[in-house]
Amino acid sequence: MPKQATDSALVRVTAYDHQLNTGSDVSDSTFRIADPNAGVGPGGRARLALAAPRPDPSAGAVWLGFTLPARGHVRLDLHDLAGRRVWSSDGDLEPGEHGWLWSGITDSGTRAHTGLYFLRLVTPWGTRTTRLVRLR
């Protein structure tokens, strides 16, 4: 992703097979990126979205990014494989892009165990879920 606006962006796609052989292709025509920091174009409307946690997997803090279409109350829940909620955070937020940093500490004050977790964004407009892997 470019760090500045451009009117000559191209897309390169690279594919790998199971033996790590590669093939790639570049788009045939250019396109414009007006503002690389914006998720919505002029006159557009933000959509409800939950980004992949960064970094993933992680042994430390994790950035949990999401986008809201309107002002409202949101909650992020982190569940273990047994479905138990191990961490939660909530708040009233404006529309647009947001993110919370999870330290890796559960609501009970202990460090989250190694394993697979599910991150759930709960909003008035719907629910989105993604996975997160913890390392020690």
Instruction: Spell out the per-residue pLDDT of the chain, length 136, in tens.
Output: 555 677 777 777 777 777 777 777 777 777 666 654 445 545 566 789 999 999 999 999 999 999 999 999 999 999 999 999 999 999 999 999 999 999 999 999 999 999 999 999 999 999 999 999 999 8
Count of C-beta atoms within a 10 Å radius of residue 128:
16
**Are residues 74 and 124 both part of a single domain?**
yes
Predicted local confidence at residue 41, as pLDDT? 47
Whether residue 57 has a cis bond before it, omega within 30° of 0: yes
Amino acid, single-letter form, for residue 133? V
**Are residues 67 and 130 both part of a single domain?**
yes
**Are residues 31 and 55 both part of a single domain?**
no
The answer to whether position 65 is within a domain reads yes
Burial group, residue 2, by CB count within 10 angstroms (0-12, 13-18, 19+): exposed
Structural domain span for residue 14 = 1-37
Q: Residue 82 maps to which CATH number? A: 2.60.40.1930
Is the pTM value of this prediction over 0.75?
A: no
DSSP state of 28: S
Predicted local confidence at residue 37, as pLDDT? 47
